Amino acid sequence: MAEEKNNAQVEESTQAPEVKTATPKQDPKEFLASFDWDKYEEGIERVDDSKLEEFEAMVAENFVDTADEEVVTGKVVHLTEREAIIDINAKSEGVISLNEFRYNPDLKVGDNVEVLIDIREDKSGQLVLSHRKARTIKAWDRVNNACEKEEIVNGFVKCRTKGGMIVDVFGIEAFLPGSQIDVKPIRDYDQYVGKNMEFKVVKINQEFKNVVVSHKALIEADIEEQKKEIIGQLEKGQVLEGVVKNITSYGVFIDLGGVDGLIHITDLSWSRINHPNEVVELDQKMNVVILDFDDNKSRIQLGLKQLEKHPWEALSEDMKVGDKVKGKVVVIADYGAFIEVAEGVEGLVHVSEMSWSTHLRSAQDFVKVGDEIEAQILTLDRDDRKMSLGIKQLTPDPWTDITSKYPVHSRHKGIVRNFTNFGVFVEMEEGIDGLIYISDLSWTKKIKHPSEFVTVGETLEVEVLELDVDARKLSLGHKQTTENPWDKYETEFALDSVHKGTVDEIVDKGAIVNFNEDIAAFVPTRHLEKEDGKKIAKGEEAEFKIIEFNKEFKRVVASHTAIFREEEQRNVKAAVKRQSAAADEAKPTLGDANEALQALKDKMDAANKK
Q: How far apart are CA 382 and CA 319, in angstroms?
A: 10
Which SS3 state, helix, strand or coil, does residue 502 take? strand
- Structural domain for 46, as ranges: 2-62
Which SS3 state, helix, strand or coil, does residue 336 take? strand
Find residue 75's DSSP bridge partners. Answer: 87, 112
| One domain, residues 408 and 477 | yes
Confidence band for 20, pLDDT divided at 50, 70 and 90: very low
Asked if the model's pLDDT at residue 72 lies above 90, the reply is no
| One domain, residues 466 and 498 | no
In a domain, 224, yes or no: no
Tell me the CATH number at 384: 2.40.50.140
Confidence band for 10, pLDDT divided at 50, 70 and 90: very low
Q: Closest Cα to residue 307, out of 384, 397, 241?
A: 241
Using an 8 Å Cβ cutoff, are 378 and 393 in contact? yes
Q: Closest Cα to residue 182, out of 207, 169, 170, 165?
A: 165
Q: Closest Cα to residue 333, out of 349, 346, 320?
A: 349
Q: How far apart are CA 47 and CA 290, in angstroms?
A: 93
In a domain, 250, yes or no: yes
Which SS3 state, helix, strand or coil, does residue 572 take? helix
pLDDT in tens, 297-342: 678 899 999 888 888 887 888 889 999 999 999 989 888 999 999 8
pLDDT in tens, 486-509: 777 877 888 888 888 889 888 888
Confidence band for 23, pLDDT divided at 50, 70 and 90: very low
| One domain, residues 406 and 476 | yes
The per-residue pLDDT for 1 is 40
The per-residue pLDDT for 86 is 85
Q: Which of 62, 87, 108 is the last residue of a domain?
A: 62
Asked if the model's pLDDT at residue 477 lies above 90, the reply is yes
| One domain, residues 424 and 451 | yes
In a domain, 546, yes or no: yes
Antiparallel, parallel or unpaired: β 423-429 and 432-437: antiparallel
CA within 13 Å, CB half, 9: 8
pLDDT in tens, 235-286: 888 898 999 989 999 999 998 877 889 999 999 988 888 899 989 999 899 9
pLDDT in tens, 78-116: 988 888 888 887 767 888 888 888 778 888 898 888 888
| One domain, residues 7 and 78 | no
Alpha carbon separation from 2 to 12, 38, 127, 187 (Å, rounded): 15, 21, 41, 91
Q: How far apart are CA 594 and CA 600, in angstroms?
A: 10
| One domain, residues 536 and 572 | no
- The predicted model gives 70-78 an average pLDDT of 84
| One domain, residues 125 and 56 | no
Confidence band for 2, pLDDT divided at 50, 70 and 90: very low
In a domain, 314, yes or no: no
Secondary structure element (H or E) that encloses residue 137, with its range: helix 131-149
Asked if the model's pLDDT at residue 127 lies above 80, the reply is no
| One domain, residues 469 and 521 | no
| One domain, residues 491 and 476 | no
In a domain, 228, yes or no: no
pLDDT in tens, 407-436: 999 999 999 988 889 999 999 888 888 999
Antiparallel, parallel or unpaired: β 555-559 and 473-477: unpaired
Q: What is the mean pLDDT of the chain?
A: 80
| One domain, residues 374 and 445 | no
In a domain, 517, yes or no: yes
In a domain, 67, yes or no: no
Q: Closest Cα to residue 323, out of 385, 398, 387, 369?
A: 387
- Residues 469, 470, 471, 477: what is their CA dihedral angle, to the nearest 10 degrees? -20
Q: Which of 26, 41, 62 is the last residue of a domain?
A: 62
Render 224-241 in DSSP notation, one character per residue: HHHHHHHHHH--TT-EEE
In a domain, 227, yes or no: no
Q: Which of 458, 481, 504 is the last residue of a domain?
A: 481
pLDDT in tens, 504-548: 888 888 999 988 877 888 999 888 888 888 888 888 888 898 888
Q: How far apart are CA 367 and CA 373, in angstroms?
A: 9
| One domain, residues 472 and 426 | yes
Asked if the model's pLDDT at residue 186 lies above 80, the reply is no
- Number of structural domains in the chain: 8
Using an 8 Å Cβ cutoff, are 310 and 270 in contact? yes
- The predicted model gives 374-379 an average pLDDT of 93
Q: Closest Cα to residue 156, out of 130, 136, 176?
A: 176
Lowest mean pLDDT segment, chosen from 40-49, 247-256, 593-602: 40-49
pLDDT in tens, 430-463: 888 899 999 899 887 878 899 989 999 999 999 9
Q: How far apart are CA 254 and CA 244, in angstroms?
A: 5
Higher pLDDT, 377 or 152: 377
Amino acid identity of residue 484, one-letter, is N
- The predicted model gives 1-21 an average pLDDT of 42
The per-residue pLDDT for 287 is 93
| One domain, residues 518 and 570 | no
Q: How far apart are CA 420 and CA 405, in angstroms?
A: 26
